[in-house]
Amino acid sequence: MDRLDNTVRPYAWGSTTAIPHLLGIEPSGEPQAEMWMGAHPGAPSRTPRGTLAEVIDAAPERELGAAAVAKFGPRLPFLLKLLAAGAPLSLQVHPDLAQARAGYEDEERRGIPVDAPHRNYKDANHKPELICALTEFDGLCGFRDPAHAADLFEGLGVAALKPYADLLRAHPEDAALREVLTAVLTADRDDMARTVTETAAACDRLGGAYAPYADIAHHYPGDPGVLAAMLLNHVRLQPGEALHLGAGIPHAYLNGLGVEIMANSDNVLRCGLTPKHVDVPELLRIVRFEPTDPGVLRPEADPDGEEVYETPTDEFRLSRHTLPAGAAAHDLTRATPQILLCTAGTVRAGDEELTPGQSVFVPAGERTEISGPGTLFRATITV
């Protein structure tokens, strides 16, 4: 196995303290948003044998296993992260696999540079995600019942919101949600900025269920994404709880520290809460306009004590081991590649001793035993 040296991305929305505290180091004062573990070309983990991308490229079947290469190609199909949100991330949605392939091929055919600010599809892959909370974690996930969104708008007493509330009470529900999101994102920018400012003041005054939107508006004053966010379910995860974000589901992370795993893709369509490009027509084509239950996931323990977060996504499988002191070692040998991440205590993985924030890559089929005391997250795939 290879100990990983991982890059921390300093995105502006990142917490200045959460990742340093987990790692047991002094904060630098700068935002530290994400620590990447994997072979993503943007910031591949480093190993004693070179970057993890180079290690896999040199011998894909040896590192990943023949079944993984046959199913996903000669690349690690997931990216594991520590994500530390100190401010809301952009409101966004991801395409399904067919949409990603078609969108990527279309933009390639039109000659749009892959690093162009207005490019939507950086690759031909989908990007399902799973976020598991390490601390209390706030997020937005999926559309709430339109009638409940109408109640939320009406409760603010802002006259400019009444047309949206009226639309939300229309039927069918999918058409109502589409019409309101379209109206919010295509409204005159100056008029919308005034509406958002008035809405933010009312949210701040009322607090309670409105408090998350007051905070969002504080970070993104005048942004139409503030109203779009009010159409979504607000979720507060407790440590150990998780959310799975499938294709077409609008979402945003607001605050907290978590372990995130996703298919290896950069395809994001933004709805707001960002200075970046928002392609409204393409966004409206990708979004699933239907009320959904956020579906908070809690891990299911197997007889060996492995707690698995079950999802329909094959590109990744996330589980957790809580290892007491003095307990027998667990055998994690598996015919697929693995990344093991310690988040609490001290965990021995093979010959490596891991403390919080440290991780290793385990090639397919390599014999691996773990012991505690500590908590270990295990990322692998399903073949």
pLDDT (mean) for 266-270: 94
Q: How confident is the model at residue 168 (pLDDT cuts 50, 70, 90)?
A: very high
Predicted local distance difference test score (pLDDT) of residue 228: 97
Examine the residue annotation and report whether 334 is marked as an active-site residue of this protein. Answer: no
Angle at 187 between CA 204 and CA 230, to 5 degrees: 35
The percent of residues in the chain predicted with pLDDT above 90, rounded, is 95
Helices marked H in the chain: 18-23, 52-58, 60-64, 66-72, 97-109, 146-154, 162-168, 173-186, 189-206, 211-219, 225-229, 280-286
302: pLDDT strictly greater than 90:
no
* Residue 138 CA neighbour count, 13 Å, CB half: 16
188: pLDDT strictly greater than 90:
yes
Q: DSSP characters for 129-155?
A: EEEEESS-EEEEEEEPPHHHHHHHHHT
pLDDT (mean) for 64-77: 97
36: pLDDT strictly greater than 80:
yes
CB 145 within 8 A of CB 254: no
Q: 7-31, pLDDT tens digit by residue?
A: 999 999 999 999 999 999 999 999 9
Query: Annotated catalytic residue: which of 75, 144, 270, 320?
Result: 270
According to DSSP, residue 324 is labeled -
Q: How confident is the model at residue 305 (pLDDT cuts 50, 70, 90)?
A: confident
Predicted local distance difference test score (pLDDT) of residue 258: 98
303: pLDDT strictly greater than 80:
no
CB 183 within 8 A of CB 273: no
pLDDT (mean) for 138-146: 97
Q: How confident is the model at residue 301 (pLDDT cuts 50, 70, 90)?
A: confident
Helices marked H in 258-310: 280-286
CA distances from 294 to 142, 188, 232, 309 (A): 6, 31, 9, 15
CB 226 within 8 A of CB 210: no
Predicted local distance difference test score (pLDDT) of residue 99: 96
Q: 227-262, pLDDT tens digit by residue?
A: 999 999 999 999 999 999 999 999 999 999 999 999
pLDDT (mean) for 353-363: 98
pLDDT (mean) for 63-83: 97
CB atoms within 10 A of CB 216: 26
Predicted local distance difference test score (pLDDT) of residue 270: 95
Predicted local distance difference test score (pLDDT) of residue 150: 98
- The single-letter code of the amino acid at 291 is P
202: Cβ contacts below 8 Å, ≥ 6 apart:
156, 157, 158, 210
Residue 215 CA to its chain's centroid (Å): 20
Cα 88 from Cα 57, distance rounded (Å): 36
Q: DSSP characters for 197-222?
A: HHHHHHHHHH-GGGHHHHHHHHHSTT
Predicted local distance difference test score (pLDDT) of residue 361: 98
326: pLDDT strictly greater than 90:
no
Closest residue by Cα to residue 168 from 158, 160, 159, 177: 177
